[in-house]
Amino acid sequence: MFLDARQHFDGDLNVLVNCAGIGGPAAPVEDLSYEDWRRCIAVNLDATFLCTRAAAASMKSTGAGSIINISSTAGLYGYPLRSAYASAKWGVIGFTKSMAMELGPSGVRVNAICPGSVSGARMDSVIANEANAKGIAAEQIRERYRKTCSLRTFIEASDIADMAVFLASAAAQRVTGQAISVDGHVENPGSLDE
């Protein structure tokens, strides 16, 4: 993939956005299968490691670059019934901070974006799975998500893209090692269980 990208763009790799992810299982820990746990960790955390490893040498050799890892507010607060996902996203933040220290001396910046609840088909699926796991209506779960946010709204994919563009730009040339929330200010993540 990285060889193809370098050939296609005829040059060095300047920006990497690690955005592959899955929601993983929604269940109490005693009901999680190891296979579901591992798949969630593999897609959300291992993929970030593998792509960063592939990009690091190229970016270090040019003395510049921006790696942007997509984590989640679940990686900041935890997430009942979604322990595999929250654990993977906490791991992404730890990996981000470690890579910022490791790659920084070579001029490579590494940051994480922590989206809140992003509207769309993926969030609809997450809400349906949680509603099923808790035995309540999906609209109740949707309203609980809204109430955790100071702005009382879901985030748009364009909000995340705007932050990624900023972090990749020269305007963020001194920003590294950060886990930046784009979530409308999640004020009470625990209220999802009220």
Residues annotated catalytic, as ranges: 85
The token pair at 135 is 């035995």
Q: In which region does residue 109 sit, left (phi positive, over 0), alpha (psi from -120 to 50) or beta (all else)?
A: beta
Q: Are 131 and 141 in contact (CB under 8 A)?
A: yes
Q: Please, which residues have CB within 8 angstroms of residue 103's CB and are 6 or more apart in sequence?
A: 56, 59, 60, 65, 67, 109, 110
